[in-house]
Chain A
Amino acid sequence: MDNRHDESTPLDVDFGWELEQLRAETQARAAEVAAVKLRLRQTEQRPAGAGRWALWPVGVGGLVAAAAALWLALLPAPEPVPQQLDLVSSQWTSEQVHQDVQLQFEGRGQLDAVGKSHDIEWREGRLKVSVTPKQDIQLDVRTPEAVVSVVGTVFEVHRDLTGTTVSVERGQVAVRCGDAPAAPLVPSDGSAFCETTSPEGRAALARARRESGDLDGALAISAKGLSVAAPGSYAAAELHWNRALAFTAQEDWPAALSSAEALLSTDQASFATDGRHAAALAGRMASGCAAAEGHLRWLAEAGSASPTELAHLADCQAASDPAGARRWLESALAGTTEPGLAAQLQQRLDQLER
């Protein structure tokens, strides 16, 4: 070691010439600069160092992969980036949202994903999910009335106004309807149905049940819907309407009258006339003129009363207002084309004359 200098003496005091050689040697050469510029233009997106491995023997790849795996295993896992995706399509569409998750859908929903965790909020339509098994994928499909959880499978979710239908093509899912415990579903089980919990959905479901003849089912669903519907809302009116018609079909006149009057109390204009028709019939059957006359008079004055309803109104007024009753009978007679009914109306008119 050269002892003429202390430890902080610059190297170029004794190695000046050597350092100058290295300095000159390591200056950028024009050819190098040009080569880097050219490469940059050609491969701006090339991953660092990727090209240099291309021609190496296959063993190099294995060794590097092993080293990289070890290195990655020792590194803390990078923070996964949250991903949000609108799933909206009016056609059957396919979307690969992760290397192990494929979605096919027609309808609308939204995907929130972080790493291998996927949360899909499905609002309407059909959604088919394919998840590669045993890849630690966590995926939930949520609808307002159901949660479908999966680890590795192919399954389909179909949501409409009445609820959510889940069917499994391969594997197994856990389906939780509302607050009920999750239940497993496999392909041989067919499909699981989670009834809607929204008032609008329950109104639609009640109508479907009533029209199919399941009156008790329609009444039960309507009652559930009314427990969550806002008073005075359109959904509440539709639910009352379903109940009025179901009770009418069961000839439970007091209950039908009560439902019809509840319907009228919502003040939904589109149900005003139908509500009066239902209330007039149920009122007359339940309590006679006392309950029906007001509704019949409203229909007659609005020009919406049928000839039969005008005849009923005339019956109710015959004792107290014969002239008014005669007027309603004449209107009914003018409005009917049915000979039998016309004959009956004419007979009543004749009785009033006498």
Chain B
Amino acid sequence: MAEGSEMSRSMPSETLFAAVMDEAPGAMDRLLEAWLPVVVAWCGRFGGPKVNREDAAHDVLIVVLKNWRRVESPAKFRPWLFSVVRNVTSRHRGWAWIRRWVPGEAPPDVADPYSTLRPEYSDTARWVWEVLDTLPAKQREVVVLCDLEGWTREEVAALLKISSGTVKGRLRLGREKFRRLAHTRGYSPGAAEVG
């Protein structure tokens, strides 16, 4: 499992969190230093290819800096951060949708939503991301968490504050739709690897 995914499932240490709550010098910087890579990755994965994840991550941090006192304990930090990311990326997806209809020269990330992908992986990543991006938000969320980040159903249920059964249902529908869309669009598992 990738380093960022492991980090995203952890929580800030009691000591660091207590230091942040006490507004100790440098504590917030250390917390953000640790969680910023997670925020950037989440913004990309939940925002999809049309969202500029640097912009989204920046907006997430602004929300965090304004509202971090609402977090009551280290255990609640990760679900809270995730909810912030979800709200911000949802808003950015809305902007991206609006920008599609605006006349004139579009910014690079609107003209080519996949421009932020690394060139060497773009062919494969593009179609996986494109298919993920067409899933309904709630299904995409659990598919990304479980199948891309490797979370268990129980972990996702705790993070999203929903039941494990709901996670299971959304996951089933999301996977089913992913496979159907991939098939419809002519993507074959392993084709990119071979090609």
Contact = CB atoms under 8 A, between A and B. Distances in A.
Interface of A: 1-2, 5, 7-12, 14-15, 17-19, 21-29, 32-33, 35-37, 39-40, 43-46, 48-49, 52, 56-57, 59-60, 63-64, 67
23 contacts: A7-B176, A8-B171, A8-B172, A8-B175, A10-B147, A10-B175, A11-B143, A15-B182, A17-B192, A18-B124, A18-B127, A18-B189, A21-B124, A22-B132, A25-B121, A26-B44, A27-B2, A28-B39, A28-B41, A43-B58, A44-B65, A56-B102, A57-B104
B171 A59 contact: no
A18 B117 CA distance: 14
Interface centre among A21, A39, A46, A48 (most CB of B within 10 A): A21
A146 B59 CA distance: 50
A274 to B, nearest CB: 65
Interface in B95-151: 95, 98, 101-104, 107, 117-118, 121-122, 124-125, 127-129, 132, 143, 146-149
A19 B148 contact: yes
A200 B100 CA distance: 71
A33 B37 contact: yes
Interface of B: 2-5, 32, 36-41, 44-45, 52-55, 57-59, 61-63, 65, 88, 91-92, 95, 98, 101-104, 107, 117-118, 121-122, 124-125, 127-129, 132, 143, 146-149, 168, 171-173, 175-176, 178-180, 182-183, 189-190, 192-193
**What's the dominant secondary structure at chain A's contact region?**
helix
Contact of B4 (A5, A22, A27): A27
B167 to A, nearest CB: 11
Contacts of B53: 32
A104 B148 CA distance: 62
A132 to B, nearest CB: 31
Nearest to B36: A33
Nearest to A45: B62
B125 A11 contact: no
B102 A63 contact: yes
The 5 closest A-B pairs by CB, nearest first: A28-B40, A28-B37, A48-B59, A14-B189, A11-B147
Given A5-B179, A63-B102, 18 more contacts: A1-B183, A8-B172, A9-B175, A11-B175, A14-B179, A17-B124, A17-B193, A19-B128, A19-B148, A22-B124, A26-B44, A27-B3, A27-B37, A28-B41, A29-B40, A33-B36, A49-B55, A64-B98
B32 to A, nearest CB: 8
